[in-house]
Amino acid sequence: MRVAVILLCGLLMTISACSLPRITVLSDPLTADEHNDLGVSYEASGDWDRALATYAAAAAKDRGWDQPLINHGNVHAAMGNWTDAIASYRRALRRNPDNPEAMNNLAYALLQVHDVRQAMKWSKRAHTIAPENVTFISTQALILAELGKAGEAAVLLEKALLRLSPDDPLRHPVQKLADELSAGRPALSQ
């Protein structure tokens, strides 16, 4: 009888030991740069949920780096989530207040939610830092058009077109925007 009790106790201990919770510590072997690069790959393939997650991981790994937050905002913008895009760009600017890409993208997102005055403020700041950047010029032209200043917008775009070679990939979209402004119907999508 005593042997049976010992065996039963041993069996119970074995069974209960199998059901004890285990703590597993996982470590993320990827660097912030690697997470960001992975996010770029996910974004390029259209896997936006994974892109957002990996950009967030990159931003968390390096709390001083603003590029993952800009990329995070760009994915939200591509999805039409303008409020989330604005939040990401603002977070990027808190990390690097002088980043003209974040300023321009914030300006464009603000334009999409019809905050034209704030959009112009950020667009001017980006354009001041990088006056030759054709994308920044195009954003400012869109904002000017929205403010009813299509003439000023057209002048900006004409100057931008003079800087672009005929084979520059930006030439076609800038020319299209200039044509739309001339016809009096600027499109808010670049």
pLDDT tens digits in sequence order for the chain, 190 residues long: 666 656 555 555 665 555 556 666 578 899 999 999 999 999 999 999 999 999 999 999 999 999 999 999 999 999 999 999 999 999 999 999 999 999 999 999 999 999 999 999 999 999 999 999 999 999 999 999 999 999 999 999 998 899 889 999 999 999 998 988 887 765 554 4
Domain range 115-190, CATH class: mainly alpha
Q: Which residue has the tokens 């959009």?
A: 119
Q: Where are the beta strands (DSSP E) in the chain?
A: none
Query: Which residue from 127, 186, 122, 131 is spatially nearest to 153, judged by alpha carbons?
Result: 186
* Fold of the domain built from segment(s) 30-97: 1.25.40
Count the Cβ atoms, other than its own, within 10 Å of residue 67. 21
Whole-prediction pTM: 0.81
Helix axes 67-78, 100-112, angle to 10 degrees: 20
Domain span(s) for CATH 1.25.40.10 in the chain: 30-97
Beta carbons of 109 and 90 less than 8 angstroms apart = no
